[in-house]
């Protein structure tokens, strides 16, 4: 299952540059993979593919790590069926933990176990993963602002200024298990994402809003991390815009 422990308030953000989803039940392996967070990645873990397959594509992770139990029998069949349902451009890079199996189609790299933190950081191919989608569609955002670049900058400044307060409200709702507050905070952030044509943040906030409305604790925790991650990416890009950069795409 998704880790059901509640995170502490986040007062500063380390900008991750890759989302990694681990499907495994071994806490030692998961904790070792979590060491990638020291390099700025977002690493999340679930027990089975069925917990996430309904929303899993490249918007959720760039790297999918499968534990040994996931690369044989019914779990492997479920993975293969899921991957075939995706377009090539939405399929994450797939790493399987364990010995290479020729019958395991759709796996890009096999990573032998046991392994340590140094092995993980040097995971072959990790630095060559295609980058995430751009945080905003600049032309669409400019269109929303009637081609007024100054207005777009003002909206960007508002998001940067209000961001910490909104993340704090979201975190407080999470800690107090106030799902209504989580739903409302996610809804407000979704509005900001729509105003900026920020597709990845819109997707994450929309899913968090829906999870909050349903009171689904595991999904709330999962999408909270995604929202913080995407908000950090967007804020970093908007700072470039305010600093004078143009042509964000």
What fold characterizes domain 19-128? Rossmann fold (3.40.50)
Common-topology check for domains 19-128 and 138-242: no
CB 45 within 8 A of CB 3: yes
CATH architecture for the domain at 138-242: Up-down Bundle (1.20)
Q: Which residue has tokens 């092995």? A: 119
Q: Which are the contacts of 121, defined by CB distance < 8 A and separation ≥ 6?
A: 35, 36, 39
Q: Which residue has tokens 């044989």? A: 72
What is the domain partition of the chain in residue ranges? 19-128, 138-242
pLDDT digits (tens, 9 = 90+) for 168-225: 999 999 999 999 999 999 999 999 899 899 999 999 999 999 999 999 998 999 999 9
pTM of the model: 0.79
Q: Which of 67-76, 84-93, 112-121, 183-192 has the lowest mean pLDDT?
A: 84-93
Report the sign of the C-alpha dihedral through residues 212, 79, 77, 89, in that order. positive
Residue 157 has pLDDT above 80, yes or no: yes
pLDDT digits (tens, 9 = 90+) for 36-51: 888 778 999 988 888 7
Q: Crossing angle of helices 217-242/149-175, nearest 10°? A: 150
**Cβ neighbours around 213 below 10 Å, total:** 15
């Amino acid at each position: 299952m998704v880790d059901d422990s509640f995170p502490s308030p986040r007062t500063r953000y380390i900008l991750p540059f890759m989302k990694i989803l681990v499907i495994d039940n071994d806490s030692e392996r998961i904790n070792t993979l979590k060491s990638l967070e020291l390099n700025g990645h977002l690493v999340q873990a679930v027990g089975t593919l069925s917990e996430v397959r309904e929303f899993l594509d490249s918007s959720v992770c760039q790297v999918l790590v499968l534990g040994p139990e996931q690369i044989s029998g019914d779990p492997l069949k479920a993975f293969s069926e899921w991957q075939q349902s995706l377009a090539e451009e939405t399929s994450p890079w797939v790493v399987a933990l364990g010995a290479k199996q020729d019958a395991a189609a759709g796996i890009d790299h096999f990573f032998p176990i046991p392994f340590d933190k140094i092995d993980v950081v040097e995971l072959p191919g990790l630095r060559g993963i295609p980058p995430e989608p751009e945080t905003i569609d600049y032309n669409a955002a400019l269109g929303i602002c009637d081609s007024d670049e100054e207005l777009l900058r003002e909206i960007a400044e508002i998001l940067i200024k209000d961001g910490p307060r909104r993340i704090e409200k979201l975190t407080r709702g999470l800690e107090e298990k106030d799902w209504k507050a989580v739903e409302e905070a996610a809804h407000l952030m979704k509005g900001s994402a729509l105003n900026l044509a920020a597709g990845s943040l819109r997707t994450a906030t929309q899913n968090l809003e829906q999870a909050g409305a349903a009171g689904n604790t595991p999904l709330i925790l999962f999408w909270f991390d995604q929202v913080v991650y995407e908000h950090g990416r967007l804020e970093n890009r908007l700072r470039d815009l305010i600093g004078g950069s143009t042509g964000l795409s």
